[in-house]
Amino acid sequence: MDNGKVLVVDDESRMRKLVKDFLKRNNFDVIEAEDGEKALEIFFSRKDISLVILDVMMPKVDGWQVCKEIREFSKVPIIMLTAKGEENDELQGFHYGADEYISKPFSPKILVARVEAILRRVNNVDKKEIIKTGGIVLDKVAHIVKIDDKELDLSFKEFELLLYFLENRGIALSREKILNNVWNYDYFGDARTIDTHVKKLRSKMGVKGDYIKTIWGIGYKFEVDQ
């Protein structure tokens, strides 16, 4: 049984084959693209892609632009691959809406584990539960958030972050705990990743963004003002 279709985008054929072989071994259906232009063509011609694995440095159209264009029309999970390890590159990836960021060289087994973790979070939702609080309505099945009846345009990770806050209302959450639960694995990057996502989430939530309180020296707490 297929776990889902994954679009693997990398200009190095050897890297595509490595990733493809490990994904297929774990029952994923893999579609390949050798550059950003081809990736966009494939993505927008299909409706069944579950996740995108996207290299940053590519000819014609780079990974940043591909991520940006996909995110304008879709909330499909995106994992960025790069040979660079600079913090600014990672933050740029999250700025464009990437959900994960993995630096080369990496363990293919770890990559597969992260793909599986993301898709579990997408697919294994409580089909009965809708969370309502403080004018916010979050539908876990439809993956929709509304504030005062207006739908928010959230990325996959922003949705997961808000869901985690709502499910832990009134509890002070450390950055490490948020990373481990929302990203669903022990994240070894800089905890400031959380701050970047919270800033974007607050901005999109407008005045309701004030419900996400900063707990200095710890992390954050979601609390609806009385």
- pLDDT (0 to 100) of residue 226: 54
Q: What is the pLDDT of residue 1?
A: 46
pLDDT digits (tens, 9 = 90+) for 71-94: 888 888 899 887 765 556 666 667
Mean pLDDT, residues 19-41 = 93
The pLDDT confidence band at residue 20, using thresholds 50, 70 and 90, is very high
- Judge whether 122 and 79 are in contact, CB under 8 Å: no
Query: pTM of the full predicted structure?
Result: 0.61
Q: Stretch 129-157: mean pLDDT, rounded?
A: 89
Residue 184 in this model has a pLDDT that exceeds 80: no
CA distance 163 to 144: 11
- pLDDT-wise least confident of 78-92, 102-116, 206-220: 78-92
Pick the CATH number of 130-222 from 3.30.160.100, 1.10.10.10, 3.40.50.150, 3.40.50.1970: 1.10.10.10
Taking the domain 5-123, which CATH number applies?
3.40.50.2300
Average pLDDT over residues 96-118: 84
User: Is the pLDDT score of 25 beyond 60?
Assistant: yes
Q: Domain boundaries in the chain?
A: 5-123, 130-222
Q: What is the mean pLDDT of residues 128-140?
A: 86
